[in-house]
Chains A and B, each alone.
Chain A
Amino acid sequence: MDRQIVIDPVHRIEGHGKITIQLDTSGHVDDAAFHVTQFRGFEKFCEGRPYYEMPSLVERICGICPISHALASAKACDAILGVTVPAAGQKLRALLNLASIMQSHALSFFHLSAPDLLLGFDGPPEKRNILGMLETHPQLAADGIRLRQIGQSIIQWLAGKKIHPTWVVPGGVGGPLSRKNLEKIRAVLPEARDIVLRTIGWFKPSMETYREEIRTFANFPSMFLGLVDPCGNLAFFDGNLRFIDYQGNIVAEQVPPTRYAEYIGEAVEDNSYLKSPYYLPLGYPEGIYRVGPAARLNVCGGCRTPLADEQWAEFKSLDKGPVLSSFYNHYARLIEILYTIEKAEQLTADPDILNPKVRAHAQPNFFEGIGVVEAPRGTLFHHYQVDENGLITGVNLIVATGNNNLAMNRGVLQVARHFIKNGKVPEPVLTRLEAVIRAFDPCLSCATHALGMTSLHVRVLGPDGRVVDDVWR
């Protein structure tokens, strides 16, 4: 008899999602899917609003990575204005992006994923959280909380507010950085570096114990996408797109973000509010690609900061070509935190960071603007169209988590097939199904926007497990 297993909700991720697993008559996994069950509608209700409201409007997409949305949005608005942002304004935006990635990665690694890694996938579920960690590993839990606090504090010192600041504006930033706040930022970076080095020191050897998870957590060939600087190195704030294939060959190099639509298509599935972007030349679903920490480290030719480069070299040695297992996203996240700290040290050492000229002013000069940044979870695209008065007429958002949709689905299927035996789904298997999703650190509230259609599927199962009715709306 066919049987369906539903995990709803998936815990310790940002947003609401569920997993369904379809078993065949012999109890083997036939299919598995990750559904995003919430709908946001930002692409639609931003229409008609003035372009200059957009950075703050789209910030409300997310409470974890509002900075990423504000920055991508402001860049799209810069393009609509046709201005060159003053150098200090760009540096301050880049610094803000680093702080945002630092705090978000800290949240993902320490608060959401470390409980699985520290307390074991087979441990009691009620203990697998940050509070459980505080009991068993107080130093590590405190480190995680402190690192996130440091990232959030840097955001506050720059932008005036930890969550949803209004400092990022079209043409630059709202005001210059004060010397007092610069000193505060400089003062906390060494502590952040100590924390992340200490954590890498613990996590790297411990990866040995997760061989089975590494082998099965979305470990399959796929393309990878990330921003790189003109020399091909890691770029978080400004750069061009680079696609590589599963063997590490560069498939598309230094693609200006404005041409993203020539390379990325967006498919819509009936069972999820999350769009499925794919590499357009390969078609759907063959054009599956991944973004995010591991993808960025796979794609780039180095970090160009000493400590992160040391770790990057070790990361690259984990596999012959690109590192394929998404489990390694956890390690990549720690390396990227290290990179954000080193890069922030470089930026705060630059005297130009205090330059009061941080904003360019103009009226809208173009009808279209595209802004792309690396968000904590991967490459983030904001694409706006405006009318002659600067009112928004079209919005397209490709959010980091969306880029990974196809890969997350395949990852869930891989874990389900490996761990589910004879139709039995014990607690540790459910945990791993959630954990493979968590390795991507998806932010579902970010990722679900207009599809052009509503999609609701109600499956009614009879007492014998048979499908009695399928209702689509």
Chain B
Amino acid sequence: MTSNASIPPKPRTDVNPARIYTLRINGREDETILTVARQNGIDIPTLCHLDGLAERGACRLCIVEIQGSPKLYAACVTLVKQDMDVITDSPRIRDYRRKILELIFSERNHVCSVCVVNGNCELQNLAVKLGMTHVRYGYLNLTHAVDASHPRFSLDHNRCVLCLRCIRVCKDIEGAHTWDIAGRGIHARIISDLNQPWGESETCTGCGKCVQVCPTGALSEKGKSVAEMTKRPEFLPYLQMMRKEAEP
């Protein structure tokens, strides 16, 4: 069943150059392992993935095994293929996921007890879900300044996991492209505009989408006390749906 209808934008291929084609239904060929697994009630943990945002493949928490290959694949950016035999949960996968999570925790300051999203945090929930009882790596204890220059929101780099959801939602959904990333490796961090204080950004519309999609306490509403901040990322698929409906 093929069709000549226009094919929607394809997933990123630079993060997974070995493109794996699957069967094409109604012109679509972009089902990822993650999508298919979730459609079939198979849980794969994710952090940088968010329904409604383009995939990034940044956190690697969704790694899966594919029979016949020694590599681990990120389920969010790997397309399903006919006869593909995928394992989403094994001691090896669990071990790697724990290690990845512990490395994230060790890199910056993720002390939940004094965080504005304590109890409502995706990173914290993942730690519980994956059974992370302690961190085996030494904490780096980096100190980043908090950017509280925006009148309504604040950015605490110490809580950031570099999932880049804020960049993606600002660029793809809001269309402002205020956020970007500067530096490499351990020095990488989120910046607004050309690395100026958020409050001085000329492109920021103040819509707050970045705050709502941020999985941790890195982006939060000012004045929310510890454990008071809740995020509502569910708005994204609806927003896209309504925009599509409004199209002429």
Report which A residues bind B (CB closer than 8 A). Answer: 48-50, 52-53, 55-57, 60, 164, 166, 169-170, 174, 361, 363, 389-391
User: Are the C-beta atoms of A53 and B113 separated by less than 8 Å?
Assistant: no
Docked CA distance A390–B145 (Å): 13
Given contacts A53-B114, A56-B114, contact A174 B145 (CB under 8 A): no
Give the distance in Å from the alpha carbon of A391 to the alpha carbon of B199 in the complex: 14
What separation, in Å, do the CA atoms of A346 and B224 have in the docked complex?
32
Q: How far is the CA of A169 from the CA of B223 in the complex (A)?
A: 9
Which among B114, B149, B225 is the interface contact of A60 at CB below 8 angstroms? B114
Chain A residue at smallest Cβ distance from B152:
A363
The 9 closest A-B pairs by CB, nearest first: A56-B226, A389-B148, A169-B225, A166-B227, A166-B226, A56-B114, A57-B114, A52-B225, A391-B148
Q: Please, which residue of chain A has its CB at the minimum distance from the CB of B143?
A: A48
Q: List 13 A-B contacts (CB under 8 A).
A: A48-B143, A50-B154, A50-B156, A52-B225, A52-B226, A53-B225, A56-B227, A60-B113, A60-B114, A166-B225, A174-B225, A389-B148, A390-B222
Q: Please give, as numbers and ranges, the residues of chain B lying within 8 Å of A52 by CB-CB distance.
A: 116, 222-226
A465 to B71, CA, bound (A): 67
> How far apart are A83's CB and chain B's nearest CB, in angstroms?
11
Q: Which residues of A contact B227 (CB under 8 A)?
A: 56, 166
Digit string of B143-158 for contact with A (CB within 8 Å is 1, else 0)? 1011011010010100
| Contact of A50 (CB < 8 Å), options: B113, B143, B222, B228 | B222
Expressed in whole angstroms, the Cα–Cα distance for A389 and B222 within the complex equals 10
A52 to B229, CA, bound (A): 12
> In the assembly, what is the distance between CA of A52 and CA of B223, in Å?
6
Q: Mark B131-174, 1 if CB is under 8 A from A, else 0.
A: 00000000000010110110100101000000000000000000
Min CB distance, A42 to chain B, in Å? 12
Having A50-B154, A56-B227, one finds 19 other A-B pairs with CB under 8 Å, namely A48-B143, A50-B146, A50-B148, A50-B156, A52-B223, A52-B224, A52-B225, A55-B225, A55-B226, A56-B226, A60-B114, A166-B227, A166-B228, A170-B223, A170-B225, A174-B225, A361-B223, A363-B222, A389-B154
For chain B, residues 79 to 118, give those with C-beta under 8 angstroms from any C-beta of chain A: 113-114, 116, 118
Residue interface bits B203-226, CB-to-A below 8 A is 1, else 0:
000000000000000000011111
A63 to chain B, nearest CB (A): 12
A391–B223 touching, CB < 8 Å = no
Query: Which chain B residues lie closer than 8 Å to A50 at the CB level?
Result: 146, 148, 154, 156, 222
Also in contact, A53 and B226, with CB within 8 A (given A60-B113, A60-B114, A164-B113): yes
A residues less than 8 Å from B148 (CB atoms):
50, 389-391
Q: Provide the bound-state CA to CA distance between A203 and B129, in Å.
A: 52
A53 and B228 within 8 A (CB): no
A56 in contact with B228 given A50-B146, A50-B154 (CB within 8 Å)? no
Q: A49–B225 contact, CB under 8 A? A: no
Contacting residues, chain A, for B145 (C-beta < 8 A): 48
- Determine if A169 and B114 form an interchain contact, defined as CB atoms under 8 angstroms apart: no
Shortest Cβ distance from residue B109 to the other chain A in the assembled complex, whole angstroms: 10
What CA separation (Å) do A391 and B146 show in the bound complex? 8
Q: Which residue of B lies closest to A175 (CB)?
A: B228
Report the separation of the CA atoms of residues A52 and B226 in the bound assembly, to the nearest whole angstrom.
Answer: 8
Q: Can you name the residue of chain B whose Cβ is closest to the Cβ of A171?
A: B223
CB distance from B142 to the nearest CB of A (A): 13
Nearest Cβ in chain B — how far from A470, in angstroms?
33
- B228:A169 contact, CB within 8 angstroms: yes
Contact partners of A53 in chain B: CB under 8 A: 114, 116, 225-226
The winner among B145, B154, B226 for most chain A CB atoms within 10 A is B226
Chain A residues near B228 (CB, 8 Å)? Answer: 166, 169, 174
Residue of A50, A60, A361, A391 most packed against chain B (CB within 10 A)? A50
Given the complex, which residues of B lie within 8 Å of A174, measured CB to CB? 225, 228
Point out the residues of chain A lying under 8 angstroms from B156, CB to CB: 50
Q: Which A-chain residue is minimally distant from B156 (CB atoms)?
A: A50
Q: Bound state CA distance, A30 and B103, in angstroms? A: 55
Q: How far is the CB of B112 from chain A (nearest CB, A)?
A: 11
For the complex, what is the distance from the CA of A174 to the CA of B224, rounded to whole Å?
10
B113 and A56 contacting across the interface, CB-CB below 8 Å: yes
Q: How far apart are the CA atoms of A169 and B151 in the complex, in Å?
A: 20
- Given A60-B113, A166-B118, check contact A49 B146 (CB 8 Å): yes
Q: Determine the distance from Cα of A391 to Cα of B113 in the docked complex, in whole angstroms.
A: 19
CB distance from B27 to the nearest CB of A (A): 50
Q: Once bound together, how far apart are the Cα atoms of A378 and B89, in whole Å?
A: 56
Q: Complex: how many Å from CA A49 to CA B109?
A: 12
Q: Could you tell me the distance in whole angstroms from the C-beta of B92 to the nearest C-beta in chain A? A: 38
Alpha-carbon distance between A268 and B42 when the two chains are bound, in angstroms: 62
In the complex, residue of chain A having the shortest beta-carbon distance to the beta carbon of B220? A50
Residues of B within 8 A of A55 (CB): 225-226
**With A50-B154, A166-B118 as contacts: A56 and B146 at CB distance below 8 Å:** no
Q: Tell me the complex Cα distance, A390–B223, Å.
A: 10
Residue numbers in B under 8 Å from A60 (CB-CB):
113-114
In the complex the two chains form, what is the Cα distance from A169 to B225 in whole Å?
6
CB distance from B64 to the nearest CB of A (A): 38
How far, in Å, is B34 (CB) from chain A's closest CB? 34
Q: How far is the CA of A88 from the CA of B228 in the complex (A)?
A: 20
Inter-chain CA distance A391–B143, complex, in Å, is 14
* Cβ distance A138 to chain B, nearest Cβ, rounded Å: 37
